[in-house]
Structure 1
Amino acid sequence: MGAWSAKHRKTAVFGWLLFVVLAAYLGGAHGSTTVTDSESMPGQVARAARILDEAGIKRPAGETVLVQSATLTAQDPAFRAVVDQAVAAVGATGKAADLRSPYDTKAVSADGHSALVQFTVVGADNQEAVKNVPAVLDAVAAVQAGHRNLTVVELGEASSGKWVQDQFKNDFSSAEWTAVPLALGILLIAFGALVAAVLPVVLAMTAFVAAGGVVALSSGLLHTSDDASSVMLLVGLAVGVDYCLFYLRREREERAAGHSPEAALRIAAATSGRAVLVSGVTVVVAMAGMFLTGIADFQAMSFATIVVVVTAVLGSLTVLPALLSMLGDRVEKGRVPFLHKLRKADRGDGGRIWNAVLTPVLRRPLAATVLAGGLLLGLAAPLLTMHTANLTFQQLLPPGNPLAATSARIQAAFPGSPDPATVVVKATDIDSPAMRQAIADFRTKALAGGRMHGPIQVTLHKAQNVATIDVPLAGSGNDAASTAALRSLREDVVPGTLLKVPGTEAPVTGSTAGSYDFNRQMSGSMLPVFGFVVAFAFLLMLASFRSPVIALTAVVLNLLSVGAAYGVLTLVFQHGVGASLLGAAGAGAVESWVPLFLFVILFGLSMDYHVFVVSRIKEAHDRGLDTRAAVSYGIRNTAGVVSSAAAIMVAVFAVFGTLSMQSMKQMGVGLAVAVLIDATIIRGVLLPSVMSLLGERNWRRSERHPGPRTPVQHRRVEERTSTVPH
């Protein structure tokens, strides 16, 4: 691929540009089809969504206005006047329907100091309701401005959806504009020249743009999501820059060693190009494991990541060699004097820091293995206490967010609100006497146990023979009390009343039910996904190096780095150690999809460094060095590029750790910590110490040819390892 691209460089470059432009244009024209509610969740939640979809029932976006006073009660004239004013203001917008006063619905708190104005936002679907809600929010804000002695605030599906939509857009833009300059700055330090630094960033961004178009075009077959777009940017920028960095750095290294431009490109393609290909395939296979979860959001994230990685690999192996052939030594244009001198001083010996670490590690490999392994096991220890959950709206938002504060106020005044469980009842005749009696019995039985609260709201859709029953649950939404209430509702109340009517279905949905079903699905899919990823990673390493020892070492080291990242994640986001520094105080749990996602993506990304470093060690061993000398050479020779690649990944992932949404924050921090551990403790200490201890057993059954190398084989090894000292 490298030779063809260098020979047909104009075809390669303009073909790439045409591909990027066409993919972006066609993807934009086609638009994206997103995951539906019935696809996104498993269990009873999915069944409830399908019943409503099949009946053509679009549940309107419910909203509430909380009117609250520390001194006045709902019966005081001044309090009533503010409530009436809020009702009138909301109604005057023309964007509200089914507007109900708390004096009609009895939605007044037990202490009398809080009341809820309830309504729905006009809109055929949730997206249209989100577009209509700003007018209502402005009207409520105007009432609040006129009555500072009371609290008048709004919360609901549309207002929450608007905040999330706006925040995703802002965060996405912020991540893009922060991560790209960071990557460029690190590359400038790594190469000391502007052109060489810009190339990987440009290729990574064009790969991301093209992949976005491909994902949009294919979203009719495999639906996508907002999370998938964020993950695609995060992974695409990180691996795209790293792949180009590996390739470009090796080409520059061979040119500095005195090879011709053609020979340097050939060696880079045969070594770093091969490492990029193996790494890309490993990431793709690891991400494919996400399809085993059966959850549409995971499948969307998996597919988007696979597309962007394949695109980045394609760009690195085709257009990059063509550009390097076209530019020649002009790739060093735009030299930054100090940085370029620093770069020239790097003779591939690892520098002072890496030498200071590596020398004692190779001298006492057993002690290094025990100390580094113990440190990683200590970091992983909090994993034993990890609690995963679908974070509630309050937990997802940053501390101090106004919507989170409003949600907490409503939750305190009206336990179980504003996220009640919803029973979706499908019957042969929803208006039959037996069904009406069953619903009445349901009300009585639900309130009798003390785990559910009023008001219980029943909405009949007679034409479709469907009813929805909203039941506020005890607890915060994802705690033990809420889970106990949900199980009581599903296992006792519903079977004992509604399901006694023949031909009736009554799945329970809502945020608590969604979290419960999602966690059960996740628990069931963990073992198959982990087994799939570990098995295929082992087989890929075995195929690449033809050594079961190297393949097993890679898997074990990756498991250690993932375990340490899990431990740090638990310590920060669940136990709150250092959480305030990241704006993550109060989460109290790890988002349920984050651990599995981190596992599959880290298993893929870790191969970046492992394949690159071990390939260089194997080159030196093939050249005739013993294992310890080959390890020393390989680690020292790759120290600079691994440090640069890791710095870029850590910087990009850390940017996502600064975003507002807790799920994105946890993903960014987890990835950044894991890559940092992987590039330092794993590659700098454990890998060299373990390989030194294993000695020649590393290469057992790795060589297929039984006799001496042919002249052609010998020349290829000489070309690949011509810079290895004798």
Structure 2
Amino acid sequence: MPGRTPITVRTARWCATHPWRAVVGWVLFVALCIGAGAAVGTNKGKFEDFWVGEAGRAEAMAADSGLTPPPVEQILVEDRPADDRTARSGTAAEKEAAARDIQRRMMSLAPVVVSVADPVRSKDGSALLVSVTLRGDKETAKKDVDALLKETAAVQGAHRGLRIEQTGSASISNAVNDQQGRELQRTEMISLPVTFVILFVVFGAVLAAGIPVLLALSAFAGAVGLYGLASWAFPDAGGAALSAIFMLGMAVGVDYSLFYLKRAREERERSGGTLSHAQAVELAAATSGRAVIDSGLAVALALAGLYLMNDVIFSSIATGGILVTLVAVAGSVTVLPALLAKLGHRLDGRAARRRTHRGPAADRQSQLWTALLRPVMRRPLVTLLAGLAATAALALPTLGMKLGTEGKETFPDSIPAVAAYDRTVRAHPSEGPAHLVLVRGTDPAAPLRELAARTRGDALFAQDRAPVPRISADGRTALLALPVPYAQNSSQAADSLERLRTTLLPATAGAAGVEWAVSGEIAYGADYAAHQEHRLPWVVVLVSLATLAIMYAAFRSAVMAAIGALLNLAAVLVAWGVLTLVFQHTWAEGLLGFESLGFVGSRTPLLVFAILVGLSTDYQIFVVSRIREAVRRGTPTRQAVVEGIAGSASVVTSAAVIMVSVFVSFLFIDRVEMKQLAVGLTVAVLFDAIVLRALILPSAMALLGERCWWPLRPGARGTRRTQMPGAAQAAGARDAVRM
């Protein structure tokens, strides 16, 4: 007896019979999301949301005692570079005059500017540095710093014989975010037309190519609006979330539409044109519609694992990614069926119409993929071992992966504020990264003065300026900044932190019996990496269990669920291995346009894991669903593997090419972490589609045979539908979608 009609079919049927209501409803939904997000605004993460580990404890001590270092901008006055046609050595008097001009102009910006320090000459006497203290905190400084930049530009215009540039956390942060915003727009301009061209090649019709792109863009727009609402529960951590929403929105939004549209067209071709577009949509809803929902849930669950990190950055990315995935799923099962039914033949290209009218003969599987799978099925053990060897070879470098934290030194020198920072640190080492040591107790300054004395002459600490403790108003807490003359992620910086925490502070603050903690860029990076290393195994385990559950629910097979989970992890390990090979060495610098830092960004592996597990499960569900359909028709598993993979090869390959085009476009963003994410995802998607799904999956299933479906083999169904000729098949279409 037929069971209850699946909800995907009932939804598709209503949307297909009420297309204008569905389309208008979708437009109103997206508009409501955008309007609601604009009305409530976006809740930006607070400074304390980023605290972690001992560094976070030190920041809390500083905030409680009023010792949080104020925002400071530096203006560097030096000679123009030798390659400048106007270059000449400025006199000391000229540089001092420029410094006085800076002081005068900056003081005129009160109350934005709290104080302006006297110029400090570099050790070699070639440069002067003027430090400007701003009001408020880091977020306030980002809003105020533009006024300072205008004055700096005015001083530069008045002293053209010198190079006068401004740097600081606020100016760098604004410049990096502005550049990333511009490059994200450029990325959209690249990925959208490329995606459209690929879809046009796949479908041969402009409308059919445009609909997935429009739905993906509408999902992105709606998700951005919802993200604004959600940010009041999960604060926004900045530009990374928006990039993730766009990347995922284009990938899953286009893919889901592609799978659905291809399946509806396939059903029409199989019927010889006797099925109406509305009937084909219902059949597609019973198969691809169900797979879209399963896949969307898998992607959402994989991203939800990021919440386990208890980190504002990962939480904001998870929120944005989940929202855009769910909105894309909603559009694929509602407005897409309405458009397919309403537009009908206008979505078919000439080639599709010719195939449709050939009838059942057009149902032949891809000859190319059938030929490629023939040796795989003939020698499955050899193929499996070869695939596993390739996977192991690419994944092996993961064992040598080194993690580092993004900071001023990792930002591109093409940003003037970043280049100015590098020159400032070279001329004044004390302006580089610093350890912020907080001590709380009776007479907290005493152990800090002893600590400062012990660092004198130590090459691990900057020596160009003697550090002096700052004491809180109540006299209970003191702060000492110990600058380090090395890059934040260098081995020397790590050594200085270890010496400070394990030797110097126990001997000074520990002996005095006071509470102490160390913060600063170096300490924050180390604590952040340690926090991730502690949480990462839990994320991997729980996300893997969640995807196991999703795949078991989709296939009712513990074996296929386990295979899917293992293939997911294989794709992730390959991505991690390639990231290590590419970004910890220099051989690909010219090819990808980056400067190797000798490490992989500490956030990149986890982001790659979460996104890849979702997308890899996406492929697994669509491919295995086709195999399972063949088994349900009574086809032996070995033959069903060939039919399922060959039958879904064109759509999965098209989806992989589209995903790769989206990910590759992020290589044009001049930021190392974005390039790492692009490379990791691109390599993994290609490896997944070519090796894991075309070699390892079919060979493993061929070796297992009917045991693939343990504990329950799918019952044979659907044979009557495929045997129905023409009109009879059309008449029985609605019965066929009842599960």
Tell me the TM-score normalised to structure 2 length. 0.87
Separation in 1, partners of 2:169, 2:468: 17
* Greater displacement, 365-374 / 148-157: 148-157
- Give the CA deviation at 1:63: 1.3
Go from structure 1 to structure 2 and tell me whether the alpha carbon gap of 1:200 and 1:393 turns closer, same or farther (over 3 Å shift). Answer: same
Q: Please state how far the C-alpha of 1:93 moved relative to its aligned partner.
A: 5.4
Q: Partner of 1:666 in structure 2?
A: 676
- Matched with 2:85 is none
Q: Is 1:508 aligned to 2:518, yes or no?
A: yes
Instruction: For 1:479 and 1:343, locate their aligned partners in 2 and report how far apart those are by CA, in whole Å.
Output: 63
- Determine if the alignment matches structure 1 residue 256 to structure 2 residue 273: no
What are the residue-to-residue correspondences of 1:279-318 with 2, within 5 Å? 279-318=295-334
Amino acid at match of 2:526: Y
Q: Distance in 1 between matches of 2:9 and 2:56?
A: 48
Aligned to 2:284: 268
What does 1:678-717 align with in structure 2 at a 5 Å threshold? 678-703=688-713
Q: What amino acid sits opposite 2:399 in the alignment?
A: L
The answer for the alignment partner of 1:431 in structure 2 is none
- Of residues 185, 210, 223, the one that matches 1:211 is 223
Q: Distance in 2 between matches of 1:570 and 1:589?
A: 8
Per-residue deviation at 1:575?
1.0
C-alpha separation in 2, matches of 1:247 and 1:439:
66
The 3-state SS of whatever aligns with 2:431 is coil
Contact map agreement 1:193 1:340 (CA 8 A) in 2: no
Structure 1 unaligned spans of 5+: 429-433
Q: Report if aligned partners of 1:399, 1:586 keep a CA contact under 8 Å in 2.
A: no
Indicate the residue corresponding to 2:453 in structure 1. Answer: 444
Aligned-residue offset at 1:235: 0.7
AA in 1 matched with 2:141? A
- SS of the equivalent of 2:554 reads helix
1:111 is aligned, of 124, 140, 143, to 124
Aligned residue in 2 for 1:632: 642
The 10-residue stretch of structure 1 (437-446 or 649-658) with the greater mean CA deviation from structure 2: 437-446
- Report whether the alignment pairs 1:419 with 2:433: yes
- Going from structure 1 to structure 2, the CA distance change for 1:331 and 1:118 (only over 3 Å counts) comes to same
Residues in 1 aligned to 2:128 and 2:225: alpha-carbon distance in whole angstroms: 48
Task: Tell me, yes or no, if the aligned pair for 1:388 and 1:589 is still in contact at 8 Å.
Answer: yes
1:407 Cα offset (Å): 2.9
Give the secondary structure class of the aligned counterpart of 1:657: helix
Say whether 1:478 aligns with 2:489. yes
Q: 2:555 & 2:528 partners in 1: Cα distance?
A: 39
**C-alpha contact (below 8 Å) 1:554/1:610 kept by paired residues:** yes
Are residue 7 (structure 1) and residue 17 (structure 2) matched?
A: no
Answer yes or no: is the 8 Å Cα contact 1:246–1:272 preserved in 2.
yes
Which has the larger displacement, 74-83 or 199-208? 74-83
Deviations 1:621-643 (A, max 9, x none): 22122222111111111111111
State the partner residue of 2:541: 531
Name the residue aligned to 2:380.
Answer: 365
User: 2:72 maps to what in 1?
Assistant: 62
Mapped partners of 1:579, 1:399: distance in 2: 15
- Whole-angstrom distance in 1 between the partners of 2:719 and 2:601: 57
Distance 1:188 1:393, change over 3 A: same
Calculate percent identity across the aligned residue pairs.
35
Which residue matches 1:277?
A: 293
SS at match of 2:429: coil
Distance 1:631 1:655, change over 3 A: same
2:347 counterpart of 1:331? yes
* Structure 1 residue 275: Cα displacement: 1.0
TM-score after normalising by structure 1: 0.89
Residues 1:150 and 1:588: Cα distance change in structure 2 (over 3 Å): farther
Per-residue deviation, 1:92: 5.0
In 2, the alpha carbon distance for the partners of 1:604 and 1:464 equals 53
Distance in 1 of aligned mates of 2:629 and 2:42: 46
- For 1:231, which of 216, 222, 244 is the aligned residue? 244
User: Paired residue for 1:191?
Assistant: 203
CA distance in 2 between partners of 1:612 and 1:49 (Å):
48
Please point out which of 400, 424, 430 is paired with 1:410.
424
Cα offset for 1:53? 4.4
Structure 2 unaligned runs (5+)? 1-7, 83-87
1:491 is the counterpart of 2:502: yes
Instruction: Name the SS for the 2:76 alignment partner.
Output: strand
**Hey, what's the Cα distance between the residues in 1 that align with 2:476 and 2:141?**
26
Amino acid at match of 1:313: V
8 Å contact from structure 2 (residues 50, 312) kept in 1: yes
Size of the aligned set, in residue pairs, is 705
Give the 3-state SS of the residue equivalent to 1:303 in structure 2: helix
Indicate the larger mover: 385-394 or 257-266. 257-266
Is contact 2:586-2:596 (8 Å) kept? yes
2:306–2:315 contact (8 Å) kept in structure 1: yes
Q: Is the 8 A contact 1:348 1:638 kept in 2?
A: no
Equivalent residue, structure 1, for 2:405 = 390
Deviation at 1:613, TM superposition (A): 0.7
Contact 2:176 2:415 (8 Å CA) reproduced: no
Change (3 A) 1:243 1:114: same
Shift of 1:99: 0.9
Task: Please give the per-residue CA displacement for 1:22-50, whole angstroms capped at 9, x wherever unaligned.
Answer: 11101111011122222223112222333
TM-align CA RMSD: 3.3
Q: Is the 8 A contact 1:451 1:473 kept in 2?
A: yes
Partner Cα separation in structure 2 for residue 407 and residue 476 of structure 1: 12
Q: State the Cα deviation string for residues 98-144 of structure 1 (Å, max 9, x = none).
A: 21123xxxx443333343221123x4343442333234334434545
The residue number in structure 2 matching 1:675 is: 685
| Aligned partner of residue 470 in structure 1, secondary structure | strand
Q: Given the superposition, is the C-alpha separation of residues 21 and 470 from structure 1 closer, same or farther in structure 2, using an over 3 Å criterion? A: same
Question: Equivalences for 1:509-658 in 2 at 5 Å?
Answer: 509-658=519-668
1:462 and 2:473 correspond: yes
Residue 161 (1) aligns with residue 173 (2): yes
- Determine helix, strand or coil for the equivalent of 1:362: helix
Against the structure 1 CA distance between its residues 445 and 541, is the aligned structure 2 distance closer, same or farther, given a 3 Å change threshold? same
1:439–1:367: structure 2 CA closer, same or farther, 3 Å change rule?
closer
In structure 1, C-alpha distance between the alignment counterparts of 2:356 and 2:483, rounded to whole Å: 64
Q: Deviations over 1:259-314 (max 9, x none)?
A: 33343222211111111111111111111111111212111111221111111112
Q: CA deviation at 1:182?
A: 2.1
Residues 24-173 of structure 1 mapped to structure 2, 5 A cutoff: 24-54=34-64, 59-69=69-79, 76-92=92-108, 96-102=113-119, 107-121=120-134, 123-144=135-156, 150-173=162-185
CA distance in 1 between counterparts of 2:276 and 2:662 reads 35
Kindly provide the CA deviation profile for residues 348-385 of structure 1, in whole angstroms up to 9, marking residues without a partner as x. 65656534532332232222222222222222222222
Q: Is the 8 A contact 1:74 1:114 kept in 2?
A: no
Relative to structure 1, the CA distance from residue 316 to residue 353 in structure 2 (aligned partners, 3 Å threshold; closer, same or farther) is same
The letter of the residue matching 1:406 is A
Please say if residues 459 and 467 of structure 1, whose CA atoms lie closer than 8 Å, have aligned partners that are also in contact: yes
Measured in 2, the distance between the counterparts of 1:534 and 1:283 equals: 12
- 2:141 is paired with a residue of what secondary structure? helix
CA distance in 2, matches of 1:39, 1:216: 17
Change in CA separation of 1:142 and 1:516 when aligned onto 2, cut-off 3 Å: same
Does the C-alpha gap of structure 1 residues 691 and 442 become closer, same or farther in structure 2, counting only changes over 3 Å?
A: same
Q: Check if 1:377 corresponds to 2:386.
A: no
Cα displacement string for residues 305-358 of structure 1 (whole angstroms, at most 9, x for unaligned residues): 1111111112212222222233333333xx4x6898899999565656534532
The 1-side partners of 2:366 and 2:12 are apart by 34
